[in-house]
Chain A
Amino acid sequence: MTWWHRLWRRNRLETELDAELRDHVERQVAEEVRSGALEPVARRRARLQFGGLDQIKERCRDVRGTRWLDEIWQDLRYAVRLLAKHRSFTAVAVLALGIGIGINTAMVTMFIAHTVRGLPVANADRVLLLSTQDDRARRLGFSYADFEDARTASRSYEGLAAYTGVAAVIGDDDQPSDRYQGAYVSVDLFRLIGETPIAGRDFNADDDLLGAPAVAILGSSVWRSRYGADPATLGRTVRVDGRLVTVVGVMPDQFRFPNGANLWLPIAQMPELLERPRDVRGLDIVGRLVDGVSLEEARTEIDRIGSTLAAAYPASNAEIRFTARPINDRFNANDPVWDRFVQIGFIVLLVACTNVAGLLVMRSVSRTHEVSIRASLGATRWQLLRQLLVESAVLALAGGIVGLGVSTVGLRAIRRALGADGLPYWIEYTMDARVFGVLSVVCLGSVFIFGLMPAIHLSKTRSRGGLTAHGFTVAGEMHTRRLTGMFLIVQVGLALLFGAMLVKDLGEYRQSEWAMRVVDPVDLHTMWISLPGRTYPTDHERHRFYDRVTMQLDEIGTIDDVAVTSAVPFAPLGARQRQVALDVTAASMPDTLPSVLTVRVDDAYFDTLGLEVGTGRDFNQLDGTPGHASAIVNRRFADIHFPGTNPVGQRLQLHSGTMDDVTPWLTIVGVAPMMDQRAGPVPDPVVFLPSRGTPPVTAALIVRSSRTLTAVTAVIRETVQRLDPDLPVYRVRTMAQVLADARGGPRMSLQLFFVVASVALGLAAIGLYALTAHTVALRTQELGIRMALGAERGHVRWIVVRRVMTHVALGIGAGVALSTVLPFDTSAPTLAAGSALLAAAALAAASAPMRRATRFDPATVLRWE
């Protein structure tokens, strides 16, 4: 019979035990009767000899090993009854815990989704991502030539597959063309990461041959939205970037590898794949390790292959090292903001726990009597403690359930606020074993944080024999006071931290709002076009196309202005990050150059946005043509690199990737206002380049028109497609939407911080209020006596204020100390503001009981005992 059986079949066991012992007695009686004794005598003797039946039964029950469970079951029922009786106490405690645990769980869920879980790939730790590194330890991709050599030379992998993201236009005869994210992939990529199409087939080796019939695999959302999930789509011929391609498969719903892709093409179809030089490193490589090969062995091997290739092709590979890392090292975020989220989650939980601990200590005063009685009736210290801890555990469990609800609702709200494209495809805010584990540990741990101290405190009652009328003893009261004082200090400290953080986040938010307001978004519309390399192979053709579009649009009356640019304001998309070298520092070129964002704009850009190039001049028709290598920098750039001097006339040079990719020296001709190129507390330095020299392949049209977005888009689309019917106009947004999107991300996390910090501050403030009120109320009697003995009202008030302020001061000290230990950016003014706020809250909390205390009739107070 197993332990579980013994637990669940208790009733049967009891009956059997009784029957067995009775049988024993009966046999003994029968035997004595046989040897001549009278039955009543024999029975009496047998009973005597047998001893206490119930004692033997107890000892047999002990042997079962389930006794402690019976007792806990008893404690549990008692706890539930008690909590149900004190409804308001229970509600407050469960709510506080629920909020604490809920916020904590939500933060942990997000943390795990972003930084731990990674791609949903089977045995992800066996899948490696290969990349290269240049001499400055910058991470680069692979060139196709290096990839092929590595694939031939390596023995550690079941296979190596290359991929690279691409945006492609799908065109059909029966519907307008549209643009999708896609990827060129090696034919065995899906097999290596363990994905199979839901319809049709995977790529196979034949698709990889040069000159093979062109095929494509669609994402299921394209299959559904564009082709109505028609099975006949398989085998259908569509145009991808104007090229005829046969659809052979459809991938599952959630699969968007590598970056929200909806269309996959064999890498052999990549234009001029084989002609690409060895130093064009745009490919990412994944490989699945053969069983038995360790990560270290694979690293050593790929490093060796890299060295071999460096020796064989010194011109391109001399400074290049090959590296390998588990794939999720790349796909998991490495952003400290997630650590901060989790820290905040735990601090909120701590605040909630302190709150509940305070409540429990407060209630312990009224429970002293009950506990004293139980102790007098023979309950051991451990039994008392266990009873109290079981109560806490029930509270924690209820809090955990509420918390689960809070986190589910909260995460759903966050997910909705982030929008459909707000997160990479593999990130889902779902509960998993890890989150549940953390949640359980948190619930259990919080029992000890908030339950243990009050329980120990209360279970000490026994030794003090607190069986006086109210269960009060002076010593007990002192001890309670000390404990509540301690909780007060902790509350104040934590509340201070949150207050300071809130003030700071609000400040940052204001600042970023302000920085974005330079451009007035009214009447501005943005949309994108992308010129395929097949039809627009050179700068000249691209330039001609943009010129024709802008000229035709200029003739349309409803369009006031139109500009062509590689990136729109407030959105980093299309702006390129490069390093800048300045003429003034050319003598000693440093090893690491400062970063800037570069944007290519035409001469109508600033006019269209309604901005004026303050110092110097705007671009003109000549800028960007040979002999006119010029640039405009923004105010931020000027402030950083030319503080106090006029940058116009100075020269700069832009570097990117490898040192070989360098622009000629450019002369600064003007300084643009400081507008944000991407959201953030601090604006980026930006260098604007004339698009005349190198027109962007993918360009944004910024249009000023008083018409609606739909009307403007229709006009633009018509104009563009009159010039090129296979050219979709996409990512159509008003400037106001662009602005809102740009603020979206940071605003989202700010709002999140704001909500969480407010909740925590609110919790802490309520706790502070309750504890202060309680500590003062505890002293009502003492204060009444003082009054009766002739103390001045003012003096009594001072005693109370002094006590409360001591705690608050100690708490503020603790908070300031914590703020230096924990990685929160707090500053002296924010801390000071927070301190003042909390002191005021504490005084307000103390005032009501204080007034009551000073108004008591001394006689009433004295009669309390």
Chain B
Amino acid sequence: MVSPKQDLPQGTLDMLILQVVALGPIHGYAIARRIQQISRDVLQVPQGSLYPALHRLENRKVLKSAWKASDTGRDAKFYSLTARGRRHLEDETASWARLSEAVALILQTAKGETP
């Protein structure tokens, strides 16, 4: 099941992770699945990037983690947002919105001028 793979732009992985984690405590595998599902299989997060990113965010105290019993019966590491993470996510989303708006605007204008 190799889906059409789309590389993530630099820095957006963190934001996506935060967005997914914001919905409630969640473990690494579920994060990867959730991103894949929500993006309708367009975005696939390689494990080689996911876990270093999770650990980095945790070290920066944007995420916190706890080992809890999961549906499989084994303990899994559940990540959740810290207060700082919540603020961070808001900032990131806002600036991402501004950025994509601006990019979209430029693209439209460019199309308009050179048909």
- A residues adjacent to B (C-beta < 8 A): 1, 6, 16, 19-21, 23-24, 26-28, 30, 49-51, 55-56, 59-60, 62-65
Chain A residues contacting B74 (CB-CB under 8 Å) are 23, 26
26 A-B pairs, CB-CB below 8 angstroms? A16-B67, A20-B51, A20-B76, A20-B77, A21-B47, A21-B51, A23-B27, A23-B29, A23-B72, A23-B77, A24-B32, A24-B47, A26-B72, A26-B74, A27-B29, A27-B72, A28-B29, A30-B72, A49-B47, A50-B47, A51-B46, A51-B48, A60-B55, A63-B59, A64-B55, A64-B59
Report whether A60 and B52 are in contact in the complex, using a CB–CB cutoff of 8 Å.
yes
Shortest beta-carbon distance from A690 to chain B in Å: 89
| Contact (Cβ within 8 A) B59 A59 | no
B66 to chain A, nearest CB (A): 11
Residue of A16, A26, A50, A56 contacting most chain B CB atoms (<10 Å): A56
CA A6 to CA B47, docked complex, whole Å: 22
Extra contacts, 5 of them, besides A23-B28, A23-B77 (Cβ < 8 A), are A20-B28, A23-B29, A23-B76, A63-B56, A64-B55
**How distant is A291 from chain B, measured CB to nearest CB, in Å?**
40
Interface residues of B in 50-76 (CB under 8 A from A): 51-52, 55-56, 58-59, 67, 72, 74-76
Secondary structure class of chain A's binding surface, majority of residues: helix
Contacting pair B29 A59 (CB below 8 A): no
A-B complex: 10 closest residue pairs judged by Cβ atoms: A27-B29, A59-B52, A63-B56, A63-B55, A24-B29, A20-B77, A60-B55, A63-B52, A60-B52, A23-B76
Q: Which residues of B contact A28 (CB under 8 A)?
A: 29
Inter-chain contacts of A50 with B (CB < 8 A): 47
Q: Which residues of A contact B59 (CB under 8 A)?
A: 1, 6, 63-65
A24→B54 CA distance, assembly (Å): 13
Expressed in whole angstroms, the Cα–Cα distance for A30 and B59 within the complex equals: 30
Query: In whole angstroms, how far apart are the Cα atoms of A60 and B52 in the complex?
Result: 4
Q: Closest approach, in angstroms, between the C-beta of A26 and any C-beta of chain B?
A: 7
Most B CB contacts (10 A, CB to CB) among A50, A59, A62, A63 go to: A63
Residues from chain B with a CB closer than 8 A to the CB of A27 are 29, 72
| Contact indicator A56/B52 (Cβ below 8 Å) | yes
- Which one of B27, B28, B47, B56 has the greatest number of beta carbons of chain A within 10 Å? B47
Complex contacts, A6 vs chain B, CB 8 Å: 59
- Scoring B residues 24 to 48 as 1 if CB is less than 8 Å from chain A, else 0, what string do you get? 0001110010000000000000111
Closest residue of B by beta carbon distance from A32: B1
Contacts of B75 in A (CB 8 A): 19
Residue in chain B with minimal CB distance to A50: B47
Q: What residues of chain A lie closer than 8 Å to B76, measured between beta carbons?
A: 20, 23
Q: Which residue of A lies closest to B77 (CB)?
A: A20
Distance between A225 CB and nearest chain B CB, rounded to angstroms? 64
Residue of B whose beta carbon sits closest to that of A58: B52
Write the B5-18 contact mask toward A (1 if CB under 8 angstroms, else 0). 00000000000000
Interchain nearest-CB distance for A663 vs B (Å)? 83
B residues with CB within 8 A of A: 27-29, 32, 46-48, 51-52, 55-56, 58-59, 67, 72, 74-77
- Contact partners of B77 in chain A: CB under 8 A: 16, 19-20, 23
What is the CA–CA distance of A51 and B76 in the complex, to the nearest angstrom? 21
Q: How far is the CB of B17 from chain A (nearest CB, A)?
A: 14
B89 CB, min distance to chain A CBs, angstroms:
20
Q: Which residue of B lies closest to A30 (CB)?
A: B72
A50 CA to B27 CA, complexed, in Å: 16
Instruction: Given A23-B74, A65-B59, answer yes or no on A56-B47 (Cβ-Cβ < 8 Å).
Output: yes
A27 to B74, CA, bound (A): 10
* A-chain residues with CB within 8 Å of residue B67 when the two chains form the complex: 16
Taking the closest CB of chain B, its distance from the CB of A357, in whole angstroms, is 41
User: In the bound complex, how far is the Cα of B59 from the Cα of A62, in angstroms?
Assistant: 11
Chain A residue with minimal CB distance to B28? Answer: A24
Given contacts A6-B59, A23-B27, A56-B47, contact A62 B52 (CB under 8 A): yes
Alpha-carbon distance A784/B108, docked complex (angstroms): 84
A27: nearest chain-B partner, CB-CB:
B29
Cα of A65 to Cα of B59 in the assembled complex, Å: 9
The residue from B27, B32, B48, B72 contacting A59, defined by CB atoms under 8 A apart: B48
Shortest distance in angstroms between A160's beta carbon and chain B's nearest beta carbon? 56
**B31 nearest CB across to chain A (Å):** 10
Closest chain A CB from B27 CB (angstroms) = 7
Cα–Cα, bound, A211→B75 (Å): 89
List, in ascending order, chain A residues with CB within 8 A of B72's CB: 23, 26-27, 30
Contacts of A23 on B, CB cut-off 8 Å? Answer: 27-29, 72, 74, 76-77
> Which residues of chain B have C-beta atoms less than 8 A from A62's C-beta?
52
Whole-angstrom distance between the Cβ of B92 and the nearest chain A Cβ: 19
Q: If the complex has contacts A16-B77, A28-B29, A30-B72, are A55 and B48 also in contact, measured as CB distance less than 8 A?
A: yes
Report the minimum CB–CB distance from A43 to chain B (whole Å). Answer: 15
Kindly provide the distance from the CB of A17 to the nearest chain B CB, expressed in whole angstroms: 8
Residues of B within 8 A of A1 (CB): 58-59
Select the residue from B32, B55, B56 with max chain A CB neighbours within 10 A. B55
| Neighbouring A residues of B47 by C-beta, 8 Å | 21, 24, 49-51, 56
Please report the C-alpha to C-alpha distance between residue A1 and residue B65 in the assembled complex, in whole angstroms.
10
A51 cross-chain contacts in B, Cβ below 8 A: 46-48
| Shortest Cβ gap from A424 to chain B (Å) | 55
* In the complex, chain A residues whose CB is within 8 Å of the CB of B46: 51
Known: A23-B76, A30-B72, A64-B59. A56 touches B51 (CB 8 A): yes
The residues of A that contact B48 with a CB separation of less than 8 Å are 51, 55-56, 59
**Nearest Cβ in chain A — how far from B99, in angstroms?**
26
Chain A residue at minimal CB-CB distance from B30? A27
Q: Which A residue's beta carbon lies closest to that of B31?
A: A24
A65 partner residues in chain B, CB cutoff 8 A: 59
Alpha-carbon gap, A413 to B1, bound state (A): 82
For the complex formed, measure the closest distance between the CB of B21 and the CB atoms of chain A, giving whole angstroms: 15
A443 to B78, CA, bound (A): 47
Chain A: minimal CB distance from B102 (Å): 31
Q: With contacts A1-B59, A23-B77, A27-B72 known, is A60 near B29, CB below 8 A?
A: no
Q: How far is the CB of B24 from chain A (nearest CB, A)?
A: 17
A64 to B52 CA separation, bound complex (whole angstroms): 9
Q: Return chain A residues, CB-CB under 8 Å to B55.
A: 60, 63-64
Measured between alpha carbons, how far is A6 from B72 in the docked complex, in Å?
28
Q: In this complex, what residue of B is CB-closest to A52?
A: B48
Q: Could you tell me the distance between the alpha carbons of A51 and B27 in the complex, rounded to whole angstroms?
A: 19
B23 vs chain A, min Cβ distance (A)? 18
Bound Cα distance from A547 to B55, whole angstroms: 97
A63 CB contacts on chain B under 8 angstroms: 52, 55-56, 59
Min CB gap B68→A, angstroms: 12
Q: Is A60 a contact partner of B27 (Cβ separation < 8 A)?
A: no
Residues of B within 8 A of A16 (CB): 67, 77
> Chain B residues with Cβ under 8 A from A19's Cβ?
75, 77
Pick from A24, A30, A55, A60 the residue with the most CB of B within 10 Å: A24
Alpha-carbon separation in the docked complex, A175 to B47 (Å) = 93
What's the nearest-Cβ distance from chain B to residue A24, in Å? 5
Provide the bound-state CA to CA distance between A791 and B58, in Å. Answer: 74
A50–B29 Cα distance when bound, in Å, is 11
A446 CB to nearest B CB, Å: 36
A107 to B47, CA, bound (A): 60
CB distance from A64 to the nearest CB of B (A): 7
A569 to B48, CA, bound (A): 89
- In the complex, the answer to whether B58 meets A60 with C-beta atoms within 8 Å is no
Considering the chains assembled together, what is the distance between the CA atoms of A62 and B55 in angstroms?
10
**How many angstroms from the CA of A16 to the CA of B47 in the assembled complex?**
16
User: A residues within 8 A CB of B58?
Assistant: 1
Q: CA A598 – CA B109 in complex, angstroms? A: 102
* Least CB distance, B93 to chain A, in whole angstroms: 24
Instruction: Give the chain B neighbours of A26 by CB distance below 8 A.
Output: 72, 74
